[in-house]
Amino acid sequence: DAKTTQPPSMDCAEGRAANLPCNHSTISGNEYVYWYRQIHSQGPQYIIHGLKNNETNEMASLIITEDRKSSTLILPHATLRDTAVYYCIVRDLMEYGNKLVFGAGTILRVKS
């Protein structure tokens, strides 16, 4: 079973920041938070991951609360091409093999 809770859907205006929340209240010390997205009819795409520090890459920023029970994915300037399902996934790096368990995700709709 997925260990995360996400809102089913969100809207965002084009050019504005999109902030996607994720709750993972049962996360353990070895577990990382991963974010993937899936644009319609395509395979999921990796966005970012983190353990406890905030992370940023060319696609997004990941903010993890100090108690690590929740996180927020930030797309700083959302475009129409960012409309997709966003998945927040918790994974134990001590478990061999990088297996991922996907939940329902959040449908992000970016509107002009």
Partner 1 sequence: DAEITQSPRHKITETGRQVTLACHQTWNHNNMFWYRQDLGHGLRLIHYSYGVQDTNKGEVSDGYSVSRSNTEDLPLTLESAASSQTSVYFCASSESAGAGELFFGEGSRLTVL
Angle at 107 between CA 38 and CA 18, to 5 degrees: 95
Where in 37-96 is the site for partner 1 (CB under 8 A)? 41-46, 49, 87, 93, 96
Residue with Cβ nearer partner 1 (53 or 112): 53
Q: Which residues contact 62 (CB under 8 A, 6 or more apart)?
A: 33, 35, 48, 49, 50, 54, 55, 56, 71, 72, 73, 74
Cα 38 to Cα 87: distance, rounded to the nearest angstrom: 8
Residue with Cβ nearer partner 1 (53 or 98): 98
Binding range to partner 1, per CB under 8 A, among 10-18, 20-28, 29-37, 58-66: 29-37
Total number of residues that touch partner 1 (CB under 8 A): 22
Chain contacts with partner 1 (rule: CB under 8 A)? 32, 34, 36, 41-46, 49, 87, 93, 96-105
